[in-house]
Amino acid sequence: MSADIKVPTLGESVTTATVAKWLKHPGDAVNEDDPLVELETDKVSVEVPAPQAGVLGPLLVPEGEEVEVGTVLSTIEAGKGAAPKAAAAPAPKKEAAPAGVQAQPATPGPVARPATPPSDVAAQGAAAVAFPSARKMMTEQGVSAAQVGTGTGKDGRITKGDVQSFLSQPRAAQPAAAARPPRQDDPREERVKMTRLRRTIARRLKDAQNTAALLTTFNEVDMSAVMQMRAEYKDLFIKKHNGVKLGFMSIFSRAVIAALQEFPAINAEIDGDDVIYREFVNLGIAVGGPNGLVVPVIRDADKMSFAQIEGTIAGFGKKAREGTLKIDELSGGTFSITNGGIYGSLMSTPIINAPQSAILGMHAIQDRPVAVDGQVVIRPMMYIALTYDHRIVDGKEAVSFLVRVKQNVEDPRRLLLQV
């Protein structure tokens, strides 16, 4: 009995993926839930597991091909070639695993993780810029993607209609392929194809700059009270909340949530000619992983305690390091916080994660001389930055929001008293 291996549902607003790497070969015996193929989406990579034990059939879609949800990638034939479930070899340790391959979690279903550069992806030339039907027609007609030019498909990819339109032009009107010779790489250079995730990040950040009216305002926070409170209660906090540690992120998160409730435009978004205001906060928290930063989302963070926020962030950090974040954990945010201070950044201007309207940047804590009651004293200070979309957020709102965050952090009692 055979079972189809299909492209699974990929999450919110994600309808296509690229076949980044086949992890098994035709004829291989596989166990149920063994990872078979790695798909790369606009957000993360997804490993598709085997629906049953058996022998892998022909690969119906090659590496580098774009596929839609529901596309059949291959089949598995149940038979004597299948390895028994109980006889499966133990999963290799993470440090011994080949780059780009993740251990399969115990729960079935696709698992998402930050994309790794698939160095052996075979797609080249037109495969990166044209849909399969368009590539076939270009091959048959002897034309190149450079001659057809930028397509009308998603991300500028060439469609079959674009090729037909090009071929319908008089030959004299058809542009010739670019005469510029290809760039000659230095032997000391390494050329690596950008992953779909990195291309998407680059496009979205540039789109945010091109679309939104971005502006950044700065302030600084005296961290003395927070550091003193943390030192005084950290042991009790850990004991009370089953090992969850009290960090700065939960304090800044609660300070931000309180300020967002006071200035709702910063938690809103523009949709055409409308503004969508929200009565909830889905807080995106940038966390570091082996392949860079990802921004998982704490849903309904406004209803969570300090301990719940800390526990959720710690869980996201663990998943980011292990590469087990799921797609739905990376979408739906209404406001984001990024902490470049853990890498030593003193000041920066973060870029908003569209369609969000603002992002808060935290930075390194440094002892600096400041004036307090007419006296120069040394205090642990942190610069904070708010980048916002000036189309929806006025300067007064942005500055007032950042001042409120500063006040909430410098005097955490305000959070308890909600003042």
Among all residues, which ones are annotated catalytic? Answer: 390, 394
Euclidean distance between CA atoms 331 and 282, whole angstroms: 9
**Residue 242, amino acid:** N
And the tokens for 66?
């774009």
Q: Tell me whether residue 16 is exposed, middle or buried, using C-beta atoms within 10 angstroms of its C-beta: 0 to 12, 13 to 18, 19 or more.
A: middle
Cβ–Cβ < 8 Å for 115, 290:
no
Q: Tell me whether residue 288 is exposed, middle or buried, using C-beta atoms within 10 angstroms of its C-beta: 0 to 12, 13 to 18, 19 or more.
A: middle
Please report the sign of the dihedral spanned by the C-alpha atoms of residue 224, residue 225, residue 228, residue 233: negative
Please report the sign of the dihedral spanned by the C-alpha atoms of residue 14, residue 19, residue 23, residue 27: positive
| 3-state SS, one letter per residue, for 208-268 | HHHHCCEEEEEEEEECHHHHHHHHHHHHHHHHHCCCCCCCHHHHHHHHHHHHHHHCHHHHC
Euclidean distance between CA atoms 135 and 160, whole angstroms: 8
Instruction: Look at residue 11 and give its three-state secondary structure.
Output: coil
Strands 335-339 and 358-362: parallel
Euclidean distance between CA atoms 256 and 335, whole angstroms: 9
Instruction: Look at residue 315 and give its three-state secondary structure.
Output: helix
Cβ–Cβ < 8 Å for 301, 73:
no
Euclidean distance between CA atoms 42 and 292, whole angstroms: 15
